[in-house]
Structure formats: structure tokens, C-alpha cells
Chains A and B, each alone.
Chain A
Amino acid sequence: MFCTRDSAEKRTCFIHRFKPVILSVKNKPTITLTGATGFLGSHLMASLLSGGHRIIVLGRSNKNGTLQERVSRLLKWFGIEEFAGQLKFMEIDFLKPLLGIPEADYKVLCADTEQIIHCASDTSFTERKRDIVFKSNVNSLEGILEFAVNANVKFFHYISTAYVAGANVILCKECLSSSADFLNVYEESKALAENIIAAFCQKNSIPFSIIRPSVVYGDSRTGRSLRFNALYFPIQSVKYISEIYLNDIKNNDGKKSKQFGIFIDEEGYLFLPLRIYLPEEGALNIIPVDYFVNATIMIIANASPGGIYHLTNNSYTKLEAIAVYNEHFMKIRGVEIIYGKSADNVLRNPAEELFDRFMTPYRPYLSDNRIFDRANTDLLTGNMNPPEFSYKIFEKCMEYAIRVNWGESIF
């Protein structure tokens, strides 16, 4: 299944719908995984280990510890320390020849690896970090792809993002992106990485798949998560801003709050006028991490060579719904969503200004109109769909986030 360019420079997908090959339980390939200490990678690792795979984790030490120490903490968090024996660690450097490890080790690594899941990624949206993001998401590919060839892997799976389609595309197909217009450097780097991987794998006859999740939040069943950006950030912002004013009301007789019409109403709700300006009507496409894991495991077990898979939600979540959830959850009123207008000439209170700054990088995803084709995914996952983002899920996720202080006290 490869894409070719048509005359209009648009991509058309030729999807050869293979019958999935279900691997025997006994026949669990050894998977080399990158990004195992990240949010998605760690969840994949936990699931693969529980499923009986042997995993070789590639990564690096950082200020929080060695690769092995960090992974061990994660195993504990997942409660699966008993699977530690199925893990092997390699401290590597993608930018160095032979991944920066001794030739003998490299040879062993190649011999042991049957499949690769490349999940490591810099998820920063910041233009200022363009070089770092490209180094991490694009420049590092050479090393890992070379390794894929040397290891003669049976499959190379790449965890990408649903947003590679670009800024002005409404219908996002499960094919490579040719867009030149992206919302941020992250999307741009992932789109380029996909193209590089596809071209390289085709040239070297390596079967590959590209898995594209949309915005991923915590576990819909337990609320547990390891990362608290995207969906969580607006909620955390409102919470912290509300705490500033609640403190003022409690300790300073609300002197400052009164100036901006902030007060506690008769029902004990904090009235916090917070107008959120969004360019157009739209919604968030969010999936829980448990869905991401289940769907990914099914895809890598049965992927068609060259397959691209959208892990997205057919049931979009409007920001208004989240505002209502939050009103109930935090006992805060006054959040108003305004579409189609700019906030530039509006006199805003300090809370609104601060919130607006916090939201800037995420704003395009809050009122997104992109529709994601899921034909490939549905075929491989048997039409398994992520759950609708209900209040119950919201509550579980936010309760957990608060319990772990938005990630500060997870470990």
C-alpha cells in the first residue's frame, strides 16, 4: 500500500486490503522500542511485556537517572515489575555511527531485533526549538533506519501523529502528507519523518507501518496518566488561576477579585469571567491511552506493509462540553467560548489574558475541523472505537491529575 502523486500533486492512496495475519501467541517477536520512557512508548512497553514480548529498550540517561532506572520506575508505576526479565536496555545515540555503541553490541542488537517500534519523539510545538525538534524527530532517523536494515527487521512501526495532514486539510486520509503548511514545527517534523521512513523502507524492502494517534489523554478506565499536557493544560490553567482568586477572596477580602467581577456565588461556585476566543467552531479529537495501546497492539500484530493508521475518535469533543464538565468538577462558572472573533481589541481581565497566553499553542486543536479517515484502522481493529469523552472519564482523569499534582509527584 503506497501512495503516488497524481497530476494535481495530491496524494491518492491505493489501499490493498490484506487479510490480517494473526501471529501465534507462541510466536512473539522481540521488539526493539524507542521512546519507552515517554507517555505513549511506556504504555506500549507495558502492554507488550504483558503480552509476552521480549523488548529491547533503546534510549539514553538523563538528569532523572539511567535508562534502566527510569524504565524500572515506570514498571513499578504500571505494577508490572515481574516482567522486568523480558527487558534489555541499550544506551544509544541515534546521531552516532552504530548508534554510538561498540560494534559487538551493535551486532548482537541487530541479531536480536525482529521488529522495531520507533516511538521516540520531541513533542514540542515551539518554533524556537525548531532545531532541537528536527534533530530529534528527523535527523535521528538515519541511525535508526540504518539499524533497521542491518537488523533485517521484519517490520518497522512508526508512531506519528494524526496531524501530519497539515493546517488546511479537512479530510485527512491514511496516506503520506504532502502539505507544506503546518500548525507547528512538531507536525512539520513528523510529516517529513513519515516521508523519509516510507521512502527508505520502500527502497530497502522493509515492511513498515505508520500509526497516527490524535490527542492522547490518560486511561479512560482508571484516569491514570503519565503526561498532563494537551487536554489537561487548560484545566490545570483554570484551576491555578481560580486558586489565585480564591486565595484573594479568602485572605484579602477579595479586593483584587472584586475589581474584575470575580466572586463566589450563592451556590458556592467561583464566578470567574473567562472568555475563550477561538477562530472558528470545531472540536477536539481526543483518544484515551488505553485505546491507543489496544489499537496499536492490534495494528502491529497484523499491519500491512506500508499501512498508515489513524487512531482518532469519531466522536469529537466540543470545548463547551469540557467547560461544562469543568464547571461541575471545579465549581467554577463564567467560562464562555466565543467563536470567530479576535480578542485583540477586547478589554480582558488578567485571568483571561493569562489563560489566553497559556492556550496559544493548543488553540488550533481546541476547535479543530479536520476529519480523519479510519478505513485502515477499522479494518485491522475490527471497528474498535475509542470511548466518547464523558464526564465520568473527565472526572477520573482530572482527579488523578490533581492527585499526582499534574505529574509532579508521580514517582
Chain B
Amino acid sequence: MDEELKTAKNCRHYAMCKIDFLGSGVCDSGLEKHFVSFYPQGRMILYEALAENKVTVTEKCLEIADSCNLCGKCDYQCYFLNEMRPTKVMEALKNHVETFIKNGGKIKSTGDDIILTEIKRIVGVDWATNDEAITITYSHDLSAISDPKMPDYVVMPNTKEEIASLVKLFNKNKITYTIRGNGQNLLGFAVNEGAIIDLNRMKTIEFDEKNWLVKVGPGVAAFDLQKQAQKRGFRINAAEPAALVCANIMCSGIMSTFSTTYGINADNFIDAEFVDKNGSFFSLNDISSPNLYSYKNLQHKNSPGICVSANIRLHPFTDDESGILVPFQTLDSALAFIKNCSIRHIGLALGIVGAEYISTFLSPTKKSASEIKNVFINKLGIPYLVVVIGDKFAIRSIGEMGFPFFDQRLFRALYLGLPSLKSAKWLDLIKELSDDEPYSYLRIKSFADLLETALSPSPDLYSQEIDPDLKPFFEKLFSRDEMTDLVWLNMYRIMSTRLGRKKPFLPVLIYLPIDNGLIEELNDKFRLIAEKYQIDNDFGFITPIDNGKRCIFEYDYFYDYNDPDEIRRIRQAGTEANTLVDEYSVKTGTVKGHPYVLYQGFCRKENLLYS
């Protein structure tokens, strides 16, 4: 397999190329044409399909290949997250089309059928198609576990009225339709036959500052909304950066480390507007609207309709906020800490992360991540870290509670000094120091000075391992304060997709009490399931919610989605893990599996957690 095809086949489909998370710009053609096919992600899928003869060169294919100007922006973005270089795939795509034409290949033109004509009458001729160069790019979503499905049409409406008309049209003609945001669903719910309604054109953002809300269209991504909110002095509780806000609430509800204080599910919005199954409108605040605040466990609910806007809550922030990392030797002690902080309302955002998470987030490459994981566990003796975002009073309280921590300055030194950390001999001594009192070296008054001297952190050093032609860009990128600012990183979560760099992952997500025994038991059982199916696995994160009464726990299974055997095994492992969660759900009455929240993301958290 050539390198281009290999890269294309390894696209993670995170849709990160659709947001400007590095400040380096987004693919111009994507911004203009909106179909995913005109973004690097879509071109990767298209190239793979062409190379494997799943589709042929079509009119849209020509347009897609032509509209790439090989600017290289997607290389920055994709390398940052996955260490991949998509530009060469874009070049290969252009070459493929060029060769096809040179060899006298016939460009396939798909005529409009009656339905498509009708659809185009509703949304305009540019915003609906049945061209397979477009439809193929909607046959995938983030999940590799679900089988790809080729839709007949892809439609991009721009208003709720257009959506309502589309629903009526599809109902009348008995055409199944599926709503798609950025294809971030992990369970294959964003792919289907029939019509795909892509909401990415509907990017309206209207602030109502007096009422602490922002009304967002269904095409607005979390990253873009956070950016706008921050500009105006607010913060939102943001999900994964490329996830569309409305779709995220709809599917599972927004959760992040800020959920410790901002909450989950219905805590995050004030109202939302829908187009129902018949093509009529309703708002959550309408007295006659269906009760989407309710929650039912162990049952997949049908979608209540299409969310066409949501009024998202705005939160204030203060200028003394900062982030710290509190190290722990055991999960037990980390759990006790987050529970205590949560009950006492210390910290705005809290989350336990494992060494896999932290080393992957911090490292510029896969190789570096595995080396750093080893340093964290074996040299620094840090298998677990608690990330805390808080104001100066919160951070002071944690100091007074007696926990040594990495403050913002130490974090920056660790982060930008990672290459030196790997070879730092003096870490052997640090470990000895921890024998008596764990992490007592963090109490050394001038430890930051020493760490900076020892690691010589700098954007230049950090970018050492990056491909030489990309190094100048990354050096500049890491000179920006926000890239090493724990508050910014937690608000925008741009690192989270790095978790799939080594291999794509399937998260097992559950809600449960912060009961150390129960969590350790489940943690062990998730691990044993993965080991049984020879699946790479690791502890993911835990975030306390609702004053420490419950938490969100993620355990991750990693798999190669180009390996059919691994896909078979991950399916088995995933099913077994879900069965285990069901068992615990019944046994404890307190454990709730995240998959059941699908289409119930608007529910009250109390209904989800306690009923």
C-alpha cells in the first residue's frame, strides 16, 4: 500500500480540519463549499474510495480535486493531532484525477432524480447532491465499529424552515433521513442510507448577554463558540472542539472537566428549538412541548426531532484563574482528592487523568508519548494526575490542604522541556525523594528555577522531533501563551483528539458515585475484558459532577480500524463492557452507561443520575 493510501485510510474523522484550532486557517474550499468532501477529511475518504475503486471520477470529484490549492494548512493541523501529513494525499487525489482524464476516462455525471430536484428546490441547487464523490464522504463517521453506509443524497439546509420542508418531503416519499453534525458520533448513528442532512451551513451565533445566553445554530462547533464567548468575556461548557454544540447536546449532553461546576445535560442550556418528525416546530419552553427533560435508562429512545438552535448558558470567569496538576500515586488517593474538592466547591474544573492521557496530550509525537508515559510512571512516580482549574483562592486552598502540585510555570517547563525530561538522569534522585513524602520535590521553593535550568524548556526544544519542514510553524505555535496555558487547554480541549493518535479509541463512558471500591473494580474489569480480546486499553479520565455525588468515568479501548480482526475483537470487547455496565447498573442502581443517553442529552441530570 502506498503511503498516500495508508495516510488516507488512517484519517481519524475527527473533523478537526473544519475548525481553526491552531490559528493557521482552515481549508478555504471547505469554508466556501461546506460539504465535508471539500475539507481535508472528505478528500481523504474520497481518495481512499478512488484508490480502491469504490467510486469513479465524477463531476464533483473534479471540483473537489481542483479546489485544493495544496496550501498545506491541513498538514499543520493533522500533524499536530495525529502526526499525519494529508497534503500528499491531496496531491495524490489531484494526480489520480489528472491521470484518469489523460487516459481518456469518462467523467461520471449523475443526473438529478425527482427527489433531488425537489430537495434542490428547497435548499438551492448548490446545496444538495447525489454525486458519489460527495455521498461517499458521508458514508463514514467517527466510529469504525459501525459499517459504512452510502447515502443517496446529501443536503445542506440553511434555515429551520428549509429543514421543516425537507422533513415533510422525506416523510411524503418515505425516505429515511439522518442528521449529521460533524460526524462525531461514536456509535455509527451519523451514517445511513437515504438522505443525510448536514447542518454545517447553519452557523449563527447570537449573544444575549443580559440573559447570560448565546443562541447557536446547529452548525456551530464548540471551539468556535468558545472563541466567540471568550472574546466577550464569557465561557461556555464545551465538548470536543469539533463537535457541533446542538448535536452534542442532542446525542449525549455536554460534558467536560468544567462539568464539575457547570454541570451536564440540561444544566448547559436554557432553551432549544426543534423541528419534529412531522416538520413542525417546537421549543423546550413551550408548555405543550414533549418532555425532553426526562430520562429513561436501558432503552434507546428515538430522536425527538432535529435541534435547530439552542440557547447555551454563558458563565463568567475571573482574571486570576489558573491551572494546576496534582500528582497521585494511586487512583484511590486521586479519587479521595477530587471528591473532597468537589464537595467543598474547590476548583471550577476537575479531572483525574492517567499517565497515558497526559503523556499523549503533551507529546508532539507518538514515540515521544510512549517515552514520556514511562517517565511519568517510572521516574516521576505519577500514574495519575488531577487537573484543577480554579481562581487564586481555589489554588491556595489546595496548597493549604497539603497537596504539592505542578503550577502553571512548572507545567510549562515540563511541557516545553519534554525532550530533556526523557533523558534527565536527575529524575532517578527525584524518585528517591518521593519515598518519604510523595512529590516532596515540588515543595522545594526554587524547584521551578531548577526545572527550567534542567529542562531548558522552549518552543524550539519542544519542536525538535517534529518534521523539519513543519518545525518553524510549530516553534511559532508553541511560543503562544495559550498553547501551554492549562485554562485555555481545558476550555478548548484541542489536545483531546491526540488520544487517538496511536490508534483510534472506543471510550467506555459511565456515570457512577465516587465510590473508590466500585471504580477500582470496574477499572479492573474493563482492563480484563480488553486483555481477553487483546485490545490495547487504559484508564481514561474521571470528572466529579454534582458536588461530588457522582462522576463521569471513561475507560479507553484502542484498536486499529484497518485491521478486520481487531475490529472484530473491539466489537466483542465493547459489547462485553456494555453488558458489564448493564449488570452493574442493575446491581447498584447507581451506575449509568453513557450509550443510553443517546438522544436524551436534553434530560435533567437529576433524572439521569438519580432516577
Contacts and interface: CB of A to CB of B under 8 A. Distances in A.
A343 B447 CA distance: 17
Contacts of B447: 350, 353-354
Interface of B: 425-426, 428-429, 432-433, 435-437, 440-441, 444-447, 449-450, 452-454, 456
B449 A350 contact: yes
A243 interface: yes
Interface stretch (A37-45, A73-81, A244-252, A291-299): A244-252
6 contacts: A127-B436, A240-B425, A245-B453, A248-B456, A256-B449, A348-B446
Given A237-B429, A240-B425, A354 B444 contact: yes
Given A128-B437, A244-B453, A257-B453, A349 B446 contact: yes
B429 A236 contact: yes
B426 A244 contact: yes
B425 A248 contact: no
A320 B51 CA distance: 74
A124 interface: yes
Contacts of B440: 357
A129 interface: yes
Given A361-B436, A406-B428, A353 B456 contact: no
Nearest to A128: B436
Contacts of A125: 436
B432 A233 contact: yes
Contact of B426 (A243, A251, A252, A257): A243
Interface in A258-283: 259
A358 B436 contact: no
Contacts of A257: 453
A61 interface: no
Interface in A200-254: 233, 236-237, 240-241, 243-245, 247-248, 251-252
B444 A350 contact: yes
Contacts of A351: 450
A357 B456 contact: no
B426 A241 contact: yes
Which of B432, B440, B444, B453 counts the most chain A CB atoms within 10 A?
B453
Given A243-B425, A360-B436, A361-B436, A350 B453 contact: yes
A354 B437 CA distance: 14
Nearest to A259: B449
B402 to A, nearest CB: 14
B453 A240 contact: no
Going nearest first, the 5 A-B pairs with the smallest beta carbon separation are: A350-B446, A350-B450, A240-B426, A256-B453, A244-B454
Nearest to B452: A256
B56 to A, nearest CB: 57
Given A244-B450, A353-B444, A124 B435 contact: yes
A357 B426 contact: no
Given A237-B429, A240-B426, A358-B429, A353 B445 contact: yes
Interface string A358-398: 10110000000000000000000000000000000000000
Contacts of B425: 240, 243
A233 B435 CA distance: 14
A126 interface: yes
Contacts, number: 67
Nearest to A237: B429
A244 B453 CA distance: 7
Given A237-B429, A243-B425, 5 more contacts: A240-B429, A244-B450, A244-B453, A353-B444, A361-B435
Which of B425, B429, B447 counts the most chain A CB atoms within 10 A?
B429
Contacts of A236: 428-429
Chain B interface, >50% SS class: helix
A125 B433 CA distance: 12
Contacts of A241: 426
A107 B556 CA distance: 50
Contacts of B446: 348-350, 353
Contacts of B450: 244, 350-351, 353-354
Which of A129, A350, A406 counts the most chain B CB atoms within 10 A?
A350
A124 B435 CA distance: 9
Contacts of B453: 244-245, 248, 256-257, 350
B435 A128 contact: yes
Nearest to A349: B446
Contacts of A348: 446
Contacts of A361: 435-436
B230 to A, nearest CB: 34
Contacts of A128: 435-437
Nearest to B420: A247
Contacts of B445: 353
Nearest to A245: B453
A345 B8 CA distance: 62
Interface string A119-151: 000001111110000000000000000000000
B422 to A, nearest CB: 14
Given A256-B449, A350-B444, A247 B456 contact: yes
A408 B435 CA distance: 18
Contacts of A350: 444, 446-447, 449-450, 453
A67 B341 CA distance: 45
B435 to A, nearest CB: 5
A138 B444 CA distance: 35
B419 to A, nearest CB: 12
Contacts of A126: 435-436
A371 to B, nearest CB: 28
A7 to B, nearest CB: 39
Nearest to A124: B435
A155 B53 CA distance: 83
A253 B454 CA distance: 13
B433 A252 contact: no
Contacts of A233: 429, 432
B345 to A, nearest CB: 30
Nearest to A355: B429
Given A236-B429, A241-B426, A354-B444, A129 B435 contact: yes
Contacts of A129: 435
Nearest to A229: B432
A360 B452 CA distance: 24
Interface string A398-411: 00000000101000
B460 to A, nearest CB: 11
B404 to A, nearest CB: 12
Nearest to B427: A240
B203 to A, nearest CB: 47
B444 to A, nearest CB: 5
B296 to A, nearest CB: 48
Nearest to A129: B435
A236 B425 CA distance: 10
Contacts of A127: 436
Contact of A357 (B428, B441, B449, B452): B441
Contacts of B441: 354, 357
Contacts of A245: 453
Nearest to B433: A357
A244 B451 CA distance: 9
A357 B435 CA distance: 11
A357 B429 CA distance: 10
Which of A237, A259, A353 counts the most chain B CB atoms within 10 A?
A353
A349 B449 CA distance: 9
B424 to A, nearest CB: 9
Contacts of B449: 256, 259, 350
A251 B460 CA distance: 13
A252 B429 contact: no
A300 B578 CA distance: 63
A351 to B, nearest CB: 7
B409 to A, nearest CB: 13
A245 B66 CA distance: 55
B454 to A, nearest CB: 4
